[in-house]
Amino acid sequence: MNKTILITGGAGFIGSHVVRLFVNSYPEYRIVNLDALTYAGNLENLTDIQDAPNYIFEKADITDAAHITRLFEQYKFDGVIHLAAESHVDRSIIDPNAFIMTNVMGTANLLNAARTLWKDNMDGKRFYHVSTDEVYGSLGEEGFFLETTPYDPQSPYSASKAASDHLVRAYGNTYHLPFVLTNCSNNYGPNHFPEKLIPLFINNIVNKKPLPVYGDGKYTRDWLYVIDHARAIDMVFHKGRNGETYNIGGFNEWQNIALVKLLCEKMDAKLGRNPGESAELITYIKDRPGHDRRYAIDANKINKELGWYPSVTFEEGLSKTIDWYMDNQEWLDHVTSGDYKKYYETQYTHR
Ligand code: NAD
Ligand code: DAU
């Protein structure tokens, strides 16, 4: 094996798809998946590759600087793809500190460890920071987020991600740490934790539970199938220019209420229910505090420079996602026990 690559957050939603892609596509790389296994981390996402000869799992918390330093000394990583984060906006409103610790301090610990390990020779090294379009704030009805759009984060989650992005660029500028950074729009697909809109609503439709739409439901997101995000990460890691930022998006904007109605329609058909039956579950509830109105990505830079474009249409991706959840009830049962139950009660009772 000619390279050792650290992937953080590889037991989570997007991370597990990135780990699988790298383990399968690059047998010549040793892939180390580092994850603290928080409520969002689930090794059941990776059972198909867990015995691959080029795969290693390390349970570690990125806020533990001493442990992170030891792992960098032990494995002498050539590259880092950093996805580990607290990722759910609603949880950041309930408990911002966990986001500041993991997203800001955790990223700083990884940057310090990489800088120390690579200080004498940075050739061929790369720190890839995976970030979000939410750092740009909220759009009105017109326009798109470009790589040059000024940062204007509005939630504790997006502020913590913005802080981590600034740190990565500052280490690039100050210490010449080789880095690339991407800001991506909303992902959906298999293994998505059912606290986020699409998997939560699929689960609630199956169980005939209310579908809690925040505010007037006219908030807009740009949806991308998770495997297309993983493909983009592969391309940027291997071909992206050092020190550059690339926006990644689905060219696929939906108002929440239109998306929820489409989901209800598709699920009625798949579940053999009468047309319109699941839409009756739609319940408007109190808005998310500080809710960003619209996100939309201009992904032309990655398209022109690296030739990346989404390969899966929304129609196709949504159908595959629904099928995956309906075929993986056991996965759902396992993740919806424990911590998630408590969170669901706090978040949705009395609203
Ligand atoms: P997720 O919440 O599903 O997974 C996060 C993973 O990080 C989990 O496996 C968790 O155990 C791990 N983790 C959390 N805290 C940790 C810590 N202190 N130490 C080690 N591991 C820890 O998140 P996701 O949706 O897969 O997002 C992954 C990354 O992509 C995040 O950085 C997120 O900001 C970014 N992102 C997500 C989206 C999206 O739509 N989900 C879009 C753009 C960018
Ligand atoms: O844009 C990228 C971001 O997308 C990522 O950085 C985040 O990690 C990821 O969680 C996601 O953030 P959002 O806040 O956009 O995703 P969420 O699925 O929580 O919400 C999508 C939209 O649906 C948003 O407008 C809020 C709304 N919503 C969400 C939930 C959970 C509801 O109306 N009801 C709900 O119950």
Pocket of ligand 1 (CB under 6 A): 9, 11-15, 35-38, 40-41, 61-63, 83-87, 102, 106, 130, 132, 161, 184, 186-187, 193
Q: Is 268 a catalytic residue?
A: no
Closest atom, ligand 1, to C-alpha of 87: 2
Q: Is 280 a catalytic residue?
A: no
* Residue that has been written with the tokens 């949806």 in this structure: 223
The reply to whether 70 falls in a domain is: yes
Tally: H helices and E strands in the chain: 13, 12
The confidence score (pLDDT) of residue 291 equals 98
The confidence score (pLDDT) of residue 348 equals 85
Q: Whose CA is nearest to atom 5 of ligand 1?
A: 12
Q: Whose CA is nearest to atom 44 of ligand 1?
A: 132
The reply to whether 271 falls in a domain is: no
CA 279 – CA 294 distance, rounded (Å): 23
CA 340 to each of CA 236, 320, 332: distance values in angstroms, whole numbers, following the listed order: 34, 24, 11
Question: Taking Cα atoms as reference points, which of 225, 92, 244, 237 lies closest to residue 168?
Answer: 244
Residue numbers in the chain where pLDDT is lower than 50:
none
Task: Name the percent of the chain in helix, strand, coil, to the closest 5.
Answer: 45, 20, 35
| Residue ranges in 181-283 assigned as alpha helix (H) | 197-206, 226-239, 256-271
pLDDT tens string 79-125: 999 999 999 999 999 999 999 999 999 999 999 999 999 999 999 99
The reply to whether 330 falls in a domain is: no
The confidence score (pLDDT) of residue 181 equals 98
Q: What is the CA radius of gyration of the chain?
A: 20
Q: Is 133 a catalytic residue?
A: yes
Closest atom, ligand 1, to C-alpha of 15: 26
Distance 276 CA to ligand 1 centre (A): 35
Closest atom, ligand 2, to C-alpha of 158: 6
pLDDT tens string 49-74: 999 999 999 999 999 999 999 999 99
| Tally of structural domains, the chain | 1
**CATH code (residue 12):** 3.40.50.720
Give how far the C-alpha of residue 41 lies from the chain's centroid of Cα atoms, to the nearest Å: 12
The reply to whether 176 falls in a domain is: yes
Q: Token pair of 292, please?
A: 């960003």
Global pTM? 0.98
CA 284 – CA 12 distance, rounded (Å): 29
Give me the catalytic one of 133, 165, 228, 253: 133
Per the structure, the complete domain to which residue 58 belongs is given by 3-187+224-248
For residue 33, which phi and psi values (nearest 5 degrees)?
A: -95, 115
